């Protein structure tokens, strides 16, 4: 069963269940304990936002949600899962989606190779989708953009001189590009021009920026039981996200290590409100891109509201 956020959209939920089954069926590793671990990740609570966005856009363009979109959706989600596994090694995170991270059960090297396997599998599934991609402007460099984003995150870890501009550049490649690929996938083979496909890509990219900023807030607002990862994990791992960087800019003094003092300063300087303003700005840009193509954003707005953007 897919995440409850899709219950109001049964047609999309049905296809996302097919996406999930395609992911499970496609993972084939001789080391069955590793295969089972990947299955555990797939079966753990996940929102499938990227594949869901591709399906929503495809629906808006009156596309049949056929096997092409199941393969493409599985490709997008496996690519996302690969980056999560890599992230957990970089972040030294113990928990992902409520289960033990693979590197804690085995080793960093096994986790990295498992992630690399999923990157490769993702590429095969996208190729098997058999989309005609003569106008596709990004998928040939998608992995490059994402991995450069991961490299930026690794190089920025514990970097006290990191700025908000550095951070936005990092997440634009690491997170937002995959969202852009998702929304653009929904418009493939519809007769859209290269310029129009770019607009679809940018629309998704703006959602991706908002999504990551919202995820940053979760690290400060929700305990592990709600978010699936330890409270203030990013700071503990030397990963400086939007709230921390905005506070550093506002406070102009060394920031306290104590969680209570840090959250007090966040409240004093209205940091969460600043991040929420940024989120809304990115979403408004996204909707303008969609609407310029005649895409009805009603379903998307309702869905994103449920996700607490």
∠ Cα 147 79 212 (to 5°): 70
Could you tell me if 19 and 54 are in contact, meaning their C-beta atoms sit under 8 angstroms apart?
A: no
Over residues 221-227, the mean pLDDT reads 58
Which of the pair, 150 or 204, is modelled with greater confidence?
204
Residue 230 has pLDDT above 80, yes or no: no
**Rounded Cα distance, 240 and 270, in Å:** 18
What angle, 0 to 180 degrees and rounded to 10, lies between the N-to-C axes of helices 242-251 and 259-268? 70
Residue 12 has pLDDT above 90, yes or no: yes
Using pLDDT thresholds of 50, 70 and 90, give the confidence band for residue 102.
very high
Over residues 51-57, the mean pLDDT reads 96
User: What pLDDT score does 309 carry?
Assistant: 45
Residues 152 and 40 occupy one common structural domain: no
Residues 185 and 44 occupy one common structural domain: no
**Rounded Cα distance, 259 and 280, in Å:** 27
- Residue ending a domain, among 131, 159, 185, is 131
User: What pLDDT score does 98 carry?
Assistant: 79
Residues 76 and 192 occupy one common structural domain: no
- Residue ending a domain, among 131, 147, 177, is 131
Residue 219 has pLDDT above 80, yes or no: yes
Number of helical H runs and strand E runs in the chain = 16, 2
Tokens encoding 142: 């998608």
Residues 296 and 203 occupy one common structural domain: yes
Q: Ramachandran region of residue 294, left (φ > 0), alpha (ψ -120 to 50) or beta?
A: left
Over residues 146-157, the mean pLDDT reads 84
Number of domains in the chain: 2
Residues 125 and 139 occupy one common structural domain: no
Residues 165 and 120 occupy one common structural domain: no
Residues 117 and 12 occupy one common structural domain: yes
Domain span at residue 71 reads 1-131
User: What pLDDT score does 135 carry?
Assistant: 46
Global model pTM greater than 0.75: yes
Q: Tell me: the pLDDT tens digits for 62-91? A: 999 999 999 999 999 999 999 999 988 887
Residues 75 and 120 occupy one common structural domain: yes
Which of the pair, 55 or 190, is modelled with greater confidence?
55
For tokens 């986790």, the residue is 111
Residues 127 and 240 occupy one common structural domain: no
Could you tell me if 41 and 301 are in contact, meaning their C-beta atoms sit under 8 angstroms apart?
A: no
Which among 165, 168, 136 has a CA at the least distance from the CA of 149? 168
Residues 228 and 264 occupy one common structural domain: yes
Could you tell me if 174 and 152 are in contact, meaning their C-beta atoms sit under 8 angstroms apart?
A: yes
The Cα-based distances of 51 to 12, 62, 65, 72, 196 in angstroms read: 10, 17, 12, 8, 20
Using pLDDT thresholds of 50, 70 and 90, give the confidence band for residue 222.
low
Q: Tell me: the pLDDT tens digits for 272-292? A: 999 999 999 999 999 999 999
């Amino acid at each position: 069963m897919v995440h409850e956020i899709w219950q109001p959209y049964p047609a999309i939920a049905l296809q996302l269940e097919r996406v999930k089954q395609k992911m499970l069926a496609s993972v084939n590793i001789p080391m069955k304990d590793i295969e089972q671990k990947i299955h555990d990740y797939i079966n753990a609570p996940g929102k499938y936002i990227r594949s869901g966005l591709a399906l929503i856009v495809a629906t808006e363009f009156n596309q049949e949600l056929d096997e092409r979109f199941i393969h493409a959706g599985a490709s997008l989600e496996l690519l996302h899962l690969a980056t999560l596994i890599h992230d957990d090694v970089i972040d030294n995170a113990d928990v992902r989606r409520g289960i033990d991270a693979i590197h804690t059960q085995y080793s960093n090297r096994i986790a990295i190779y498992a992630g690399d396997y999923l990157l490769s599998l993702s590429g095969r599934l996208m190729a098997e989708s058999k989309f005609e991609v003569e106008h596709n402007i990004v998928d040939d460099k998608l992995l490059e953009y994402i991995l450069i984003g991961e490299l930026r995150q690794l190089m920025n870890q514990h970097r006290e001189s990191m700025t908000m501009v550095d951070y936005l550049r990092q997440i634009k490649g690491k997170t937002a590009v995959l969202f852009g690929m998702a929304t653009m996938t929904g418009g493939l083979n519809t007769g859209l021009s290269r310029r129009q496909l770019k607009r679809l890509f940018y629309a998704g990219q703006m959602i991706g920026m908002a999504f990551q900023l919202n995820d940053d807030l979760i690290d400060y607002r929700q305990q592990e039981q709600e978010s699936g990862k330890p409270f203030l994990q990013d700071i503990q791992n030397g990963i400086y996200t939007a709230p921390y960087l905005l506070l550093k800019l506002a406070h102009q003094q060394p920031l306290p290590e104590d969680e209570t003092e840090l959250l007090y300063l966040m409240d004093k300087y209205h940091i969460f409100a600043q991040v929420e303003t940024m989120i809304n700005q990115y979403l408004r840009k996204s909707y303008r891109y969609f609407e310029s193509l005649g895409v009805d954003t009603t379903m998307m707005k309702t869905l994103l509201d449920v996700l607490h953007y």
